[in-house]
A and B are shown apart, each in its own frame.
Chain A
Amino acid sequence: MTFSNAEIWLTILLVGVGTYVIRFSFLGLIGDRPMPAIVLRLLRYTPVAVLPAMVAPLALWPDATGGDVDPVRVTAALATLAMGVWKKHVLWAIGAGAVTLYAGLYLTGQL
Protein backbone atom coordinates (compact mmCIF):
# COMPACT_ATOMS: atom_id res chain seq x y z
CA MET A 1 0.00 0.00 0.00
CA THR A 2 1.38 3.40 -1.01
CA PHE A 3 -1.05 5.42 1.12
CA SER A 4 0.70 7.65 3.65
CA ASN A 5 -0.52 7.85 7.23
CA ALA A 6 -2.22 11.17 6.56
CA GLU A 7 -3.87 9.83 3.39
CA ILE A 8 -5.26 6.85 5.31
CA TRP A 9 -6.80 9.14 7.94
CA LEU A 10 -8.16 11.43 5.20
CA THR A 11 -9.74 8.39 3.49
CA ILE A 12 -11.31 7.23 6.77
CA LEU A 13 -12.71 10.69 7.38
CA LEU A 14 -14.09 11.10 3.84
CA VAL A 15 -15.68 7.63 3.77
CA GLY A 16 -17.17 8.34 7.20
CA VAL A 17 -18.60 11.72 6.23
CA GLY A 18 -19.92 10.36 2.91
CA THR A 19 -21.54 7.39 4.62
CA TYR A 20 -23.14 9.68 7.18
CA VAL A 21 -24.53 11.92 4.44
CA ILE A 22 -26.08 8.84 2.77
CA ARG A 23 -27.63 7.71 6.06
CA PHE A 24 -28.86 11.22 6.90
CA SER A 25 -30.10 11.90 3.36
CA PHE A 26 -33.78 11.05 3.36
CA LEU A 27 -34.46 10.92 7.09
CA GLY A 28 -32.63 14.16 7.81
CA LEU A 29 -32.99 16.37 4.77
CA ILE A 30 -35.65 15.17 2.38
CA GLY A 31 -38.22 14.36 5.06
CA ASP A 32 -41.65 13.30 3.91
CA ARG A 33 -41.39 14.44 0.29
CA PRO A 34 -41.86 11.50 -2.15
CA MET A 35 -38.95 10.14 -4.23
CA PRO A 36 -38.94 9.01 -7.87
CA ALA A 37 -39.73 5.28 -7.95
CA ILE A 38 -36.87 4.59 -10.38
CA VAL A 39 -34.32 5.89 -7.83
CA LEU A 40 -35.63 3.52 -5.15
CA ARG A 41 -35.51 0.64 -7.61
CA LEU A 42 -31.91 1.31 -8.61
CA LEU A 43 -30.87 1.71 -4.95
CA ARG A 44 -32.30 -1.72 -4.15
CA TYR A 45 -29.60 -3.37 -6.29
CA THR A 46 -26.55 -1.44 -5.10
CA PRO A 47 -25.02 -4.03 -2.74
CA VAL A 48 -25.57 -6.93 -5.11
CA ALA A 49 -24.21 -4.85 -8.01
CA VAL A 50 -20.99 -3.81 -6.30
CA LEU A 51 -19.82 -6.84 -4.35
CA PRO A 52 -19.62 -9.52 -7.12
CA ALA A 53 -17.58 -7.24 -9.42
CA MET A 54 -15.22 -6.58 -6.56
CA VAL A 55 -14.83 -10.14 -5.34
CA ALA A 56 -14.75 -12.13 -8.59
CA PRO A 57 -11.21 -11.08 -9.62
CA LEU A 58 -9.97 -11.56 -6.03
CA ALA A 59 -11.32 -15.12 -5.95
CA LEU A 60 -10.14 -16.07 -9.43
CA TRP A 61 -6.72 -14.37 -9.52
CA PRO A 62 -5.61 -14.02 -5.88
CA ASP A 63 -2.54 -11.93 -4.97
CA ALA A 64 -1.27 -14.70 -2.67
CA THR A 65 -0.55 -16.98 -5.67
CA GLY A 66 0.83 -14.14 -7.79
CA GLY A 67 -2.44 -13.88 -9.70
CA ASP A 68 -2.63 -17.55 -10.79
CA VAL A 69 -5.90 -19.47 -10.47
CA ASP A 70 -5.76 -21.55 -7.28
CA PRO A 71 -8.14 -24.56 -7.23
CA VAL A 72 -8.27 -24.47 -3.41
CA ARG A 73 -9.31 -20.82 -3.27
CA VAL A 74 -11.83 -21.18 -6.12
CA THR A 75 -13.41 -24.18 -4.35
CA ALA A 76 -13.56 -22.25 -1.09
CA ALA A 77 -15.15 -19.31 -2.91
CA LEU A 78 -17.84 -21.54 -4.44
CA ALA A 79 -18.51 -23.24 -1.08
CA THR A 80 -18.95 -19.82 0.57
CA LEU A 81 -21.37 -18.66 -2.10
CA ALA A 82 -23.34 -21.93 -2.06
CA MET A 83 -23.70 -21.94 1.73
CA GLY A 84 -24.77 -18.29 1.67
CA VAL A 85 -27.47 -19.05 -0.89
CA TRP A 86 -28.60 -22.12 1.05
CA LYS A 87 -28.57 -20.85 4.66
CA LYS A 88 -29.15 -17.16 3.84
CA HIS A 89 -26.76 -16.27 6.62
CA VAL A 90 -23.36 -14.56 6.45
CA LEU A 91 -21.77 -16.48 9.33
CA TRP A 92 -22.71 -19.90 7.96
CA ALA A 93 -21.22 -18.93 4.61
CA ILE A 94 -17.98 -17.63 6.16
CA GLY A 95 -17.71 -20.88 8.15
CA ALA A 96 -18.17 -23.01 5.03
CA GLY A 97 -15.58 -20.98 3.15
CA ALA A 98 -13.03 -21.14 5.96
CA VAL A 99 -13.46 -24.90 6.49
CA THR A 100 -13.17 -25.56 2.73
CA LEU A 101 -10.12 -23.30 2.41
CA TYR A 102 -8.22 -24.88 5.30
CA ALA A 103 -9.20 -28.43 4.33
CA GLY A 104 -8.00 -27.70 0.79
CA LEU A 105 -4.75 -26.10 1.91
CA TYR A 106 -4.11 -29.03 4.27
CA LEU A 107 -4.87 -31.69 1.62
CA THR A 108 -2.62 -30.00 -0.95
CA GLY A 109 0.20 -29.73 1.60
CA GLN A 110 0.17 -25.93 1.79
CA LEU A 111 -0.66 -25.82 5.50
Chain B
Amino acid sequence: MLSATEKSAYFAGIRDGWPFVFVAGPFAMLFGVVAIEAGLSLAQAMGFSVVVIAGASQFAAVQLMVDNAGIALVLLAALAVNLRMAMYSAALVPFLGSAPLWQRACVSYLNFDQSYMASVARYETVPMTVPERFWFFIGVATPIAPTWVAFTAVGGLVGTSIPPEYALDFALPITFLAMIGPMLRTLAHVAAAFVSMCVGLVLVGLPSGSGLLIAAACAMITGVIVESWTEKRT
Protein backbone atom coordinates (compact mmCIF):
# COMPACT_ATOMS: atom_id res chain seq x y z
CA MET B 1 0.00 0.00 0.00
CA LEU B 2 1.29 3.44 -0.88
CA SER B 3 1.48 6.15 1.76
CA ALA B 4 -0.30 9.44 1.06
CA THR B 5 2.96 11.22 0.18
CA GLU B 6 4.03 8.38 -2.15
CA LYS B 7 0.67 8.56 -3.88
CA SER B 8 0.91 12.31 -4.36
CA ALA B 9 4.49 11.90 -5.65
CA TYR B 10 3.15 9.37 -8.19
CA PHE B 11 0.43 11.75 -9.38
CA ALA B 12 2.90 14.64 -9.52
CA GLY B 13 5.00 12.40 -11.78
CA ILE B 14 2.05 11.77 -14.09
CA ARG B 15 1.43 15.53 -14.26
CA ASP B 16 5.06 16.16 -15.27
CA GLY B 17 5.11 13.23 -17.68
CA TRP B 18 1.95 13.59 -19.73
CA PRO B 19 3.07 16.50 -21.99
CA PHE B 20 5.78 14.17 -23.36
CA VAL B 21 2.98 12.05 -24.81
CA PHE B 22 2.86 14.57 -27.65
CA VAL B 23 6.52 13.82 -28.44
CA ALA B 24 6.45 10.07 -27.85
CA GLY B 25 3.20 9.48 -29.81
CA PRO B 26 4.23 10.81 -33.25
CA PHE B 27 7.78 9.50 -32.81
CA ALA B 28 6.53 6.00 -32.01
CA MET B 29 4.13 6.14 -34.93
CA LEU B 30 7.03 6.98 -37.22
CA PHE B 31 8.94 4.02 -35.84
CA GLY B 32 5.99 1.77 -36.59
CA VAL B 33 5.87 3.06 -40.17
CA VAL B 34 9.64 2.70 -40.68
CA ALA B 35 9.76 -0.79 -39.16
CA ILE B 36 6.95 -2.07 -41.38
CA GLU B 37 8.54 -0.42 -44.44
CA ALA B 38 11.78 -2.22 -43.56
CA GLY B 39 9.99 -5.58 -43.62
CA LEU B 40 9.35 -6.24 -39.93
CA SER B 41 6.00 -7.70 -38.84
CA LEU B 42 3.66 -5.69 -36.63
CA ALA B 43 4.52 -7.99 -33.71
CA GLN B 44 8.24 -7.40 -34.28
CA ALA B 45 7.78 -3.62 -34.47
CA MET B 46 5.88 -3.70 -31.18
CA GLY B 47 8.41 -6.15 -29.76
CA PHE B 48 11.11 -3.52 -30.36
CA SER B 49 9.09 -0.87 -28.55
CA VAL B 50 8.32 -3.11 -25.56
CA VAL B 51 11.69 -4.84 -25.17
CA VAL B 52 14.06 -2.01 -26.15
CA ILE B 53 11.88 1.05 -25.37
CA ALA B 54 14.53 3.53 -26.64
CA GLY B 55 13.59 5.46 -29.79
CA ALA B 56 16.87 6.42 -31.44
CA SER B 57 18.43 2.98 -31.04
CA GLN B 58 15.30 1.29 -32.44
CA PHE B 59 15.58 3.44 -35.59
CA ALA B 60 19.32 2.74 -35.78
CA ALA B 61 18.82 -1.02 -35.45
CA VAL B 62 16.14 -1.12 -38.15
CA GLN B 63 18.26 0.98 -40.53
CA LEU B 64 21.27 -1.32 -40.14
CA MET B 65 19.05 -4.38 -40.60
CA VAL B 66 17.86 -2.87 -43.88
CA ASP B 67 21.54 -2.35 -44.82
CA ASN B 68 22.07 -6.07 -44.11
CA ALA B 69 24.70 -5.47 -41.46
CA GLY B 70 25.43 -8.53 -39.33
CA ILE B 71 23.66 -8.99 -35.99
CA ALA B 72 26.85 -8.06 -34.12
CA LEU B 73 27.09 -4.69 -35.88
CA VAL B 74 23.37 -3.96 -35.46
CA LEU B 75 23.81 -4.66 -31.77
CA LEU B 76 26.97 -2.54 -31.43
CA ALA B 77 25.48 0.47 -33.23
CA ALA B 78 22.15 0.33 -31.39
CA LEU B 79 23.90 0.02 -28.03
CA ALA B 80 26.33 2.83 -28.93
CA VAL B 81 23.31 5.09 -29.47
CA ASN B 82 22.07 4.06 -26.00
CA LEU B 83 25.36 4.56 -24.17
CA ARG B 84 24.12 7.96 -22.99
CA MET B 85 21.75 6.01 -20.75
CA ALA B 86 24.77 4.82 -18.77
CA MET B 87 25.17 8.50 -17.89
CA TYR B 88 21.50 8.72 -16.90
CA SER B 89 21.94 5.60 -14.81
CA ALA B 90 24.99 7.12 -13.11
CA ALA B 91 23.23 10.44 -12.56
CA LEU B 92 20.31 8.73 -10.77
CA VAL B 93 22.59 7.04 -8.21
CA PRO B 94 22.70 10.00 -5.78
CA PHE B 95 18.87 10.15 -5.80
CA LEU B 96 17.81 6.49 -6.00
CA GLY B 97 20.98 4.52 -5.18
CA SER B 98 19.65 3.41 -1.76
CA ALA B 99 16.24 2.22 -3.09
CA PRO B 100 15.50 -1.56 -2.98
CA LEU B 101 16.87 -3.59 -5.88
CA TRP B 102 13.43 -4.25 -7.44
CA GLN B 103 12.75 -0.51 -7.55
CA ARG B 104 16.12 0.21 -9.16
CA ALA B 105 15.38 -2.59 -11.65
CA CYS B 106 12.02 -0.97 -12.57
CA VAL B 107 13.55 2.49 -12.90
CA SER B 108 16.27 1.02 -15.14
CA TYR B 109 13.68 -0.42 -17.54
CA LEU B 110 11.84 2.92 -17.74
CA ASN B 111 14.96 5.12 -17.85
CA PHE B 112 14.61 6.93 -21.19
CA ASP B 113 15.34 10.55 -22.12
CA GLN B 114 12.05 12.10 -20.98
CA SER B 115 11.59 10.15 -17.74
CA TYR B 116 15.20 10.81 -16.76
CA MET B 117 15.10 14.54 -17.53
CA ALA B 118 11.73 15.22 -15.91
CA SER B 119 12.67 13.27 -12.78
CA VAL B 120 16.11 14.77 -12.23
CA ALA B 121 14.66 18.26 -12.77
CA ARG B 122 12.20 17.50 -9.94
CA TYR B 123 14.74 15.82 -7.63
CA GLU B 124 17.07 18.78 -7.89
CA THR B 125 14.41 21.35 -6.94
CA VAL B 126 12.05 19.54 -4.51
CA PRO B 127 13.17 17.72 -1.34
CA MET B 128 11.77 14.15 -1.48
CA THR B 129 12.33 10.84 0.31
CA VAL B 130 13.76 7.96 -1.71
CA PRO B 131 10.38 6.10 -1.95
CA GLU B 132 8.70 9.34 -3.10
CA ARG B 133 11.40 9.78 -5.75
CA PHE B 134 10.78 6.22 -6.95
CA TRP B 135 7.01 6.74 -7.29
CA PHE B 136 7.54 10.10 -8.97
CA PHE B 137 9.75 8.41 -11.59
CA ILE B 138 7.15 5.68 -12.19
CA GLY B 139 4.50 8.42 -12.47
CA VAL B 140 6.44 10.23 -15.20
CA ALA B 141 6.77 7.00 -17.19
CA THR B 142 3.13 5.95 -16.69
CA PRO B 143 1.63 8.00 -19.55
CA ILE B 144 4.71 7.83 -21.82
CA ALA B 145 5.60 4.12 -22.00
CA PRO B 146 2.11 2.83 -23.02
CA THR B 147 1.84 5.67 -25.58
CA TRP B 148 5.16 4.57 -27.06
CA VAL B 149 3.96 0.99 -27.56
CA ALA B 150 0.41 1.83 -28.67
CA PHE B 151 1.50 4.36 -31.29
CA THR B 152 4.11 1.97 -32.64
CA ALA B 153 1.15 -0.28 -33.44
CA VAL B 154 -0.81 2.63 -34.98
CA GLY B 155 2.17 3.50 -37.19
CA GLY B 156 2.61 -0.12 -38.16
CA LEU B 157 -1.06 -0.43 -39.16
CA VAL B 158 -1.15 2.88 -41.06
CA GLY B 159 2.31 2.49 -42.62
CA THR B 160 1.47 -0.30 -45.05
CA SER B 161 -1.23 1.83 -46.69
CA ILE B 162 1.14 4.71 -47.56
CA PRO B 163 2.36 4.68 -51.22
CA PRO B 164 6.10 5.14 -52.09
CA GLU B 165 5.62 8.63 -53.64
CA TYR B 166 5.26 9.95 -50.10
CA ALA B 167 9.00 9.38 -49.62
CA LEU B 168 8.67 7.63 -46.27
CA ASP B 169 12.19 6.35 -46.92
CA PHE B 170 13.26 9.79 -45.77
CA ALA B 171 11.28 9.73 -42.52
CA LEU B 172 14.18 8.03 -40.77
CA PRO B 173 16.98 10.40 -41.87
CA ILE B 174 14.74 13.35 -40.97
CA THR B 175 14.08 11.92 -37.51
CA PHE B 176 17.80 11.42 -36.86
CA LEU B 177 18.65 14.89 -38.15
CA ALA B 178 15.91 16.34 -35.96
CA MET B 179 17.51 14.73 -32.91
CA ILE B 180 20.96 16.12 -33.74
CA GLY B 181 20.00 19.82 -33.71
CA PRO B 182 18.86 20.00 -30.07
CA MET B 183 21.99 18.07 -28.99
CA LEU B 184 24.36 20.77 -30.27
CA ARG B 185 24.50 22.59 -26.94
CA THR B 186 28.21 23.44 -26.78
CA LEU B 187 31.14 23.95 -29.13
CA ALA B 188 32.39 20.49 -28.12
CA HIS B 189 29.07 18.90 -29.20
CA VAL B 190 29.21 20.76 -32.54
CA ALA B 191 32.82 19.64 -33.11
CA ALA B 192 31.96 16.03 -32.24
CA ALA B 193 28.97 16.06 -34.61
CA PHE B 194 31.08 17.56 -37.40
CA VAL B 195 33.85 14.99 -37.03
CA SER B 196 31.26 12.21 -36.86
CA MET B 197 29.65 13.41 -40.11
CA CYS B 198 32.96 13.82 -41.99
CA VAL B 199 34.49 10.50 -40.91
CA GLY B 200 31.16 8.76 -41.49
CA LEU B 201 31.00 10.07 -45.06
CA VAL B 202 34.66 9.21 -45.82
CA LEU B 203 34.37 5.68 -44.43
CA VAL B 204 30.95 4.90 -45.92
CA GLY B 205 32.53 2.27 -48.20
CA LEU B 206 33.73 0.12 -45.29
CA PRO B 207 31.76 -3.06 -44.47
CA SER B 208 28.36 -2.10 -43.07
CA GLY B 209 28.49 -0.46 -39.70
CA SER B 210 32.24 -0.50 -39.06
CA GLY B 211 32.80 2.99 -40.51
CA LEU B 212 30.11 4.20 -38.14
CA LEU B 213 31.93 2.86 -35.09
CA ILE B 214 35.26 4.44 -36.13
CA ALA B 215 33.48 7.74 -36.79
CA ALA B 216 31.75 7.61 -33.39
CA ALA B 217 35.03 6.89 -31.57
CA CYS B 218 36.79 9.80 -33.36
CA ALA B 219 33.86 12.11 -32.57
CA MET B 220 33.73 11.21 -28.86
CA ILE B 221 37.46 11.84 -28.48
CA THR B 222 37.03 15.14 -30.36
CA GLY B 223 34.23 16.15 -27.98
CA VAL B 224 36.38 15.51 -24.92
CA ILE B 225 39.41 17.32 -26.42
CA VAL B 226 37.38 20.39 -27.39
CA GLU B 227 35.68 20.38 -24.00
CA SER B 228 38.97 20.46 -22.09
CA TRP B 229 40.29 23.08 -24.51
CA THR B 230 37.29 25.40 -23.97
CA GLU B 231 37.53 24.85 -20.19
CA LYS B 232 41.15 25.97 -20.19
CA ARG B 233 40.30 29.15 -22.10
CA THR B 234 37.55 30.28 -19.71
A11 x B65 contact (CB < 8 A): yes
Given the contacts A1-B68, A46-B81, A84-B182, A53 and B215 also touching, CB distance less than 8 Å? yes
Does B75 interact with chain A (Cβ within 8 Å)? yes
CA distance A51 to B228 in the complex (A): 23
A11 x B85 contact (CB < 8 A): no
Given the contacts A23-B108, A94-B174, A58 and B66 also touching, CB distance less than 8 Å? no
Does B153 interact with chain A (Cβ within 8 Å)? no
- Residues of chain B within 8 A of A50, CB atoms compared: 60, 77, 80-81, 196, 212, 216, 219
B219 x A49 contact (CB < 8 A): yes
B89 x A23 contact (CB < 8 A): yes
- Residues of chain B within 8 A of A85, CB atoms compared: 181-182, 184
B51 x A77 contact (CB < 8 A): no
Does B71 interact with chain A (Cβ within 8 Å)? yes
- Residues of chain B within 8 A of A57, CB atoms compared: 200-201, 204
CA distance A53 to B198 in the complex (A): 7
Given the contacts A23-B109, A58-B63, A62-B173, A46 and B216 also touching, CB distance less than 8 Å? yes
Given the contacts A12-B48, A19-B54, A22-B82, A54 and B63 also touching, CB distance less than 8 Å? yes
**CB 8 Å contact bits of A13-24 with B (1 = contact, 0 = none):** 111101110111
| Leading 5 A-B pairs by shortest Cβ distance | A84-B181, A53-B200, A45-B223, A16-B51, A93-B178
Q: What would be 14 A-B contacts, judged by CB atoms less than 8 Å apart?
A: A15-B74, A23-B85, A25-B89, A27-B90, A27-B108, A42-B220, A43-B87, A51-B81, A57-B204, A58-B176, A85-B184, A88-B182, A93-B181, A101-B174
Residues of chain B at the chain A interface (Cβ within 8 Å): 22-23, 26-27, 30, 38-41, 44, 47-48, 51-54, 56-58, 60-61, 63, 65-66, 68, 71, 74-75, 77-90, 92-94, 96-97, 101, 104-105, 107-109, 111, 164-167, 169-170, 172-184, 188-189, 192-197, 199-201, 204, 211-212, 215-224, 227
